[in-house]
Chain A
Amino acid sequence: MEQSKEPYIGPRAPHFLGYPEASATAQTVAAPLLAGASLSLIGVIIVDGGDFRWPGVTLLLVVTSAIALIATMQIGADARKYLYNRQTVEAWYAPEDLERNSELLERRSAHFIQWQVRNRRAVITFNTGTMLLIFSVATALVPPHDEQAAWRWAAAGLALAGALVEAWWIHHLFHEDPGGPPQKPKSLNGGDG
């Protein structure tokens, strides 16, 4: 039998099917909360600047963090409009519309790629925002004077360690091996079939 000359090309989908939801959670739940925390910290530093060792540096870090996290929400929302599955297409268009306009499903493929490209920017701003927030917390904790200095240095050190772990985690996520071919299951009787 002659092999078909057209390659099989399936629908575009994320490799981890839960990834879009996980990404959306980071952009619509985590980012607003962390942005709110950044904005609160800005207020505290402006009012009580004298209680911080480096109020200027801390303010710069936390303002940049807030901007990055707010950008995450906006870029993520912009990206999200490109992500939908076949069910959504079928909910909007009757079968006869889909037959008449075959480009609707082709457009979904192009839109998925657009979502990946735009969502990547939201991911970068989110990771940047969280890193800057942790650094700003570390600088805010540095004691301005000797009172309880040891405890505050320990807390600042812990925050800095958290920042390093976060940086390692982000690096790991960007370079994680997605996994090789599926392992052939071993036969129970020790044979091959």
Chain B
Amino acid sequence: MLYDVTLPGNGVDLHQCPSCVRPFRGHYTRDQVDDWERALEQGESLARAHLEQSGAFEVLHTATCPLRCLPPAVLALCPESELRAQYHKGRAVLGDC
């Protein structure tokens, strides 16, 4: 099959959830993390809308993954301490999404 042929093309943009290690794909920037933080400040409905628009619900987390209510940009770009802070902020606004 073609997949087994060694071609010089190089793939990228594959991430995995740091908690449930399910993969997801996409290119994310810090601006998207900032947008999420702004949405959280503006309240539950805007935060929920942002989650929807960011593709958070398209990531195939496990049913009990604690990070399933965070946008993929946060999962991809935030180191551990920042990720924990985002988790708690998100839970404070959205509860269990």
Which residues does A use to contact B, with CB under 8 Å?
Answer: 6-16, 19, 22-23, 26, 30, 34, 106, 109-110, 113, 116-117, 119-120, 123-124, 126-127, 130, 165-166, 169-170, 173-181
Mind listing 16 A-B residue pairs with CB under 8 Å?
Answer: A7-B84, A9-B19, A9-B83, A14-B14, A15-B21, A23-B10, A110-B79, A119-B12, A120-B13, A124-B12, A169-B2, A173-B10, A173-B12, A174-B11, A178-B25, A180-B60
Asked if B89 is at the interface of the complex by the 8 Å CB criterion, the answer is: no
Q: In whole Å, how far is A4's beta carbon from the nearest beta carbon of chain B? A: 10
Contacts of B12 in A (CB 8 A): 119-120, 123-124, 173-174
A10-B60 in contact (CB<8A): no
Q: How far is A134 from B32 in the complex, measured between Cα atoms in Å? A: 36
Interface string of B49-93 (1 = CB under 8 A from A): 000000000001010001100000000111111011001000000
Contact of B87 among A7, A15, A113 (CB under 8 A): A7
Interface size on B, residues (CB 8 A): 32
Contact of A7 among B10, B19, B22 (CB under 8 A): B19
Q: In whole Å, how far is A14's beta carbon from the nearest beta carbon of chain B? A: 8
B60-A15 in contact (CB<8A): no
Q: How far is A174 from B84 in the complex, measured between Cα atoms in Å? A: 29
Contacts of B21 in A (CB 8 A): 10, 15
A176-B25 in contact (CB<8A): yes
